[in-house]
Structure 1
Amino acid sequence: MKKISIAFVLICALISSTAIAQAFKEKYRPQFHFTPKANWMNDPNGMVYHNGTYHLFYQYYPDDKIWGPMHWGHATSKDMIAWKEQPIALYPDSLGYIFSGSAVVDKNNTAGFGKDALVAIFTHHDPVQEKQKTGKHETQSIAYSLDDGKTWTKYKENPVIQNPGITDFRDPKVRWFEPQKKWVLTLATKDRITFYSSPDLKSWTRESEFGANEGGHGGVWECPDLFPIKHEGKDIWVLIVNINPGGPNKGSAGQYFLGDFDGKTFTSNSKETKWLDFGTDNYAAVTFSNTGDRNILMGWMSNWQYANQVPTDPWRSANTIARELALKTVGKETYLTSVPVKELDMLNTTGFSLKNVKVKAQLDLTDKAKNKTGLFRLDFTTKNTADFSIVLANEAGNELIVGYDKAKNQYYIDRSKSGKIDFEKGFGEKHIAPRFATESNIPLTLIADVASVELFADNGLTVMTDIFFPESPMSKLSIKSVSGINVDDLKYTVLKPSME
């Protein structure tokens, strides 16, 4: 028995290591961000927590790795880290392609499909009507599942919201509004947001609209979200609006507004256009439903500027890691913060810590890290005394630089020498982000996967997400500062792949 047990363990270890090795053979395949096994993915859809499982649906085209007739792909996870791809949930039909939307748990059986039914609310996009230029080619429909999301039945009387003649009329995000015992639907309608309400998810009443004269209008408004966060003893409502193009560093991005919502009208108290993420690769970001007091955001880790051209095969696109949202007031302005969910700690393996380290010119951490995969998390705090940069590099001479410019009070990510950049003329650029915090210390978290970095500065006040395509793993790491900085605390953690 003992020999059999040892052999069994060795076989399991071999299978596991072989699976990991195989994954790394697929150049640029993220190791702890969700990607479909093959073909095209964009917006996360229908994200919901139900019976101990997180469900992620997503825009999916199963026949090619460029955008095509949209389906809802499906993946599940117990922790938002290790995802298991499931069969396609929703297919195109006579009403059109299945565009973006959301999902809720109908705890009170308001729709009559069954107590605790999962109900998906999505946009039907009719390509025939689109060609006819009727302006009515996008409508809102629902489907329901009574077996924890395994199978779905489309409502026979779809669509539940007809189009009044708005060319971009899509991406419904639904939540329960307890004070008035009704569902509220937040819809992107060309260059603004329109709110609807319903007692039963079937019959909807138009309530109000927002945004004609607020926020950024460099492109079409898409993928909205609306939810409250408790801050300093009261609820502040957050309205997320993704926009394409018109982001702060070109292409697609997500903006947000803070204010009040009374079940009918959203009133913004924001004095400036605010951005969820100043990198170029966090789009269509929305929150999970049914997560209690936690507001957990996940986005599509790409940009419409180059999404169809990125050099990955046999898949295209990944999602960001899940992020926990909160609010923080700096002076007279309040901002949305986002930090990695605590579940990410399950990927921690080896690492090291340093305290009170002076960095003059360069601190090379490569030998100490002993990390050939380039998967890591770096947490450190430094006094705001001078410029500094964190440099990821490899044997091929590729460099991705993440840094802080003191004179401009800006963070940045420079991917101009990060590897393959020639697939799109605007890809290999330096992206900048303002610093909002006023404290002298800079706390910073950097999370690196095979082909992405996610920067959370000042406890999530400034966030940047960028993808990149190095010729080999970024196994070298150093911190540089010409003038010199003092790093108070530094923690480096090697992250393991998350694979199911």
Structure 2
Amino acid sequence: MTTPTVLHCQYRPQHHYTADRNWLNDPNGLIYANGTYHLFYQHNPSGNEWGNMSWGHATSADLLHWDEQPVAIVCDEQEAIFSGSAVLDRNNTSGFGTPDNPPLVAIYTSAYSPASPLGGRQAQSLAYSTDDGASWTKYSGNPVADRGSAEFRDPKVFWYDGTAGNYWVMVAVEALDREVVLYKSADLKSWEYLSTFGPANATGGVWECPDLFELPVDDDPGTTKWVLVVNLNPGGIAGGSAGQYFLGTFDGVTFVSESTVTEGLQQDDSRMVEYGWLDWGRDYYAAVSFSNSPDGRRLMIGWMNNWQYGGVTPTSGWRGALTLVREVRLATRAGRVVLMQAAVDPFENGGATIYSEARRPLAAGTHWLPAEASGDVLRIDAEFEPGAAGEVGLLLRAGGAEQTVLAYDSATGVLSLDRTTCGNTDFHESFASVERVTVPLEDGRLRLRIFLDRCSVEVFAQDGAATITDQVFAAESSARLGLFADCDGAELISLAVVR
């Protein structure tokens, strides 16, 4: 979180990062170095709308409490600074540092303006820091990777050690072609083409912000899969912006997908639910992972917004928030390997349980929790046995005519988040929506972990096998919680509300 320096806004979140002032969108340059997490992000230092794209910067020791730093890499008359990544060049392959003081190197997209000799192109460039990210110098030999393309962007770079060799790998996109393009380099300065992946699965919008990393399956280091993340806009499962992932192999040259459902540019909407989606809500986009995370953890964060309405959300002095950081892993569920996600919990140390219930029948109707269980910044842990009770679930951020409804349909197995009456929805015609995902019960039970913040709901179902992330702009007074069931027959196994 940040300490606001602009006028009070009821929607500024407590546990989600926002810039003190002005516009924020895609996270980029995520890295852990010398005990500090660095969060860079697309930022307009001069206004509350997209423009003047530069890299904003924040730092944290725990992924929860963020200190905003001066703007790291600033746009100029020649280029805007689009998304990318950062690495710790441990062996000083770039020559930007020394063996005793290896540099941080940012790999970003130069979006060249008409004032530049490369006007209209997007190419990959470098900046480096030898003072732990406090200051950055653009490389004099930029750009370092140029395809002569207007849509070549969003480089994610990592060090590869494998049978094909030892070198840096760049994963970027040709956005309009819906292709991921891979390159290699020994020194971050000279890049050699490796291969291309795509188009495949969701192609209803441009591809952006790719990522590629290896994870063990079911915590077995002897069995791994590579995860290729590709964000797209529009064409998401819930409408507008979204992130998808592919599982497969990578031999240092080529990524081969084992989870491709459809190939080519013609998207088959009838098969959308078969694709691997990072999130089934409207507001999880441009998600990428941190480099160099300690203990081998794979940590991701996304922009908590959607390009359909991101430029007009009703905040004051600032616009755009990031999600909670999520640790991701691979697990087998119902014979299928899926990406599991767990939020870094802002309530784990210091949160207090303000209300709890043990197992009891959940009768038909609405059951409001007592006033002491109310709040706009909460974690809610709930477990149900829906039985044959039709829809069961929770009413969130309720007050007057406002409520956000999280419901599970025991007949269809679908979990839905309905924000059509969440509060302020009329700032854009596409904001009011209902998000849905099929969630199989496990031993007849549904487990939910829900994080409420002042402008958002993040739902993790069945230990993060499915997630739904949505913004909600409710009145400050809309803070009640309730349980409901359509019919008798459901049971509440447990409930805990933490503030």
Do the two structures share a fold, i.e. TM-score over 0.5? yes
Aligned to 1:488: 493
Q: Which position in structure 2 is the counterpart of 1:220?
A: 206
1:411 deviates by 1.1
Give the length in aligned residue pairs: 469
Kindly report which structure 2 residues correspond to 1:363-374, keeping only aligned pairs within 5 A, or say none: 363-369=367-373, 371=374, 373-374=375-376
1:185 to 165, 170, 174: 170
Where does residue 35 of structure 2 map in the other structure? 52
1:311 and 2:314 aligned: yes
- CA distance in 1 between partners of 2:82 and 2:111 (Å): 6
SS of the equivalent of 1:178 reads strand
Greater helix proportion = 1
Instruction: Verify: 1:327 aligned to 2:330, yes or no.
Output: yes
Structure 2 distance, partners of 1:347, 1:141, is: 42
The corresponding residue for 1:253 is 242
Q: Rate the CA distance shift 1:224–1:473 in 2: closer, same or farther, 3 A.
A: farther
AA at the equivalent of 1:117: P
- Correspondence 1:76-87 to 2 at 5 A: 76-87=59-70
Post-superposition offset of 1:451: 0.7
Residue 398, structure 1, aligned to residue 402, structure 2:
yes
The secondary structure found in structure 2 opposite 1:416 is: coil
Q: 1:271 to 1:303 in 2, by over 3 A?
A: same
Conserved 8 A contact 2:113-2:120: no
* 1:392/1:400 contact within 8 Å kept: yes
How far apart are the structure 2 equivalents of 1:438 and 1:380? Answer: 14
1:425 to 408, 429, 434: 429
1:137 and 2:121 matched: yes
2:272 paired residue number: none
SS in 1 for 2:133: coil
Structure 1 residue 95, shift from structure 2 partner: 4.0
* The 10-residue stretch of structure 1 (446-455 or 405-414) with the greater mean CA deviation from structure 2: 405-414
Tell me the distance in 2 between the aligned counterparts of 1:480 and 1:374. Answer: 19
What is the CA deviation profile of residues 347-381 of structure 1, one whole-angstrom value per residue up to 9, with x for unaligned ones?
51342332102221223223241x4x411001121
- AA matched with 2:63: M
Query: 2:171 and 2:26 mapped to 1: Cα distance?
Result: 16
Q: Which runs of 4+ in 1 moved over 3 A?
A: 22-25, 393-396, 436-439
Checking the alignment, whether the CA contact within 8 Å between 1:437 and 1:461 is kept in structure 2 is: no
Secondary structure of 2:239's aligned partner: coil
Correspondence 1:278 to 2:284: no
Q: Name the amino acid aligned to 1:256.
A: Y
1:116-131 equivalences under 5 Å are: 116-128=102-114
Q: Is the 8 A contact 1:436 1:461 kept in 2?
A: no
- Distance across 2 between alignment mates of 1:57 and 1:393: 31
CA distance in structure 2 between the partners assigned to 1:59 and 1:120 by the alignment: 13
* Contact 1:238 1:259 (8 Å CA) reproduced: yes
Q: Secondary structure at the match of 2:464?
A: coil
1:33 deviation in Å? 0.3
- 1:417 positional shift: 0.7
Give SS of 1:185's match. strand
Q: Would the aligned equivalents of 2:6 and 2:20 in 1 still touch at CA under 8 Å?
A: no
Matched with 2:148 is 164
2:356 and 2:474 map into 1 onto residues whose CA distance is 27
Spell out, residue by residue over 1:50-75, the C-alpha distance to the aligned partner (whole angstroms, 9 max, x if none). 11111100000011111012000001
Cα shift at 1:271: 4.6
Is 1:241 matched up with 2:230? yes
Q: Is the 8 A contact 1:421 1:469 kept in 2?
A: yes
State the SS of the aligned residue for 1:459: helix
Cα shift at 1:128: 1.6
Q: Which residue of 2 aligns with 1:3?
A: none
Q: Deviation at 1:333?
A: 2.0
CA contact (8 A) 2:377 2:454 kept: yes
In the other structure, the counterpart of 1:459 is 463
- Residue 288 of structure 1 corresponds to 290
SS of 2:371's partner is helix
1:101 aligns with 2:105: no
Contact 2:386–2:392 (CA<8 Å) still a contact in 1?
Answer: no
1:26 has 2:12 as partner: no
Residue 201 of structure 2 contacts residue 260 of structure 2 at CA under 8 Å; is this kept in 1?
no
**2:482 alignment partner AA:** S
In structure 1, what is the Cα distance between the partners aligned to 2:343 and 2:109?
30
Q: Hey, what's the Cα distance between the residues in 2 that align with 1:290 and 1:234? A: 21
Q: How big is each residue's C-alpha offset from its partner over 1:413-469, in whole Å with a ceiling of 9 and x where there is no partner?
A: 111111111111110111112225654211110000001000000111110000011
Indicate the larger mover: 385-394 or 430-439: 430-439
Match of 1:16 in 2: none
CA contact (8 A) 2:78 2:113 kept: no
Q: Take 2:44 and 2:212, find their aligned partners in 1: how far apart are those partners?
A: 28
Alignment of 1:321-360 (within 5 A): 321-342=324-345, 344-346=347-349, 348-360=351-363
List aligned pairs for 1:408-447, cutoff 5 A.
408-436=412-440, 439-447=443-451
Quote how far apart the aligned CAs of 1:185 are: 0.6
Match of 1:208 in 2: 195
- CA 1:161–1:34 in structure 2 vs 1: closer, same or farther (change >3 Å)? same
How far does residue 344 in structure 1 lie from its aligned partner after superposition? Answer: 4.8
Q: Could you tell me how far apart the structure 2 residues matched to 1:263 and 1:366 are? A: 57
Residue type of the partner of 2:331?
K
Map 1:258-269; keep pairs closer than 5 Å.
Answer: 258-269=247-258
CA distance in 1, matches of 2:239, 2:182: 28
**For residues 32 and 352 of structure 2, what CA distance do their matches in structure 1 show?**
27
Secondary structure at 1:380 match in 2? strand
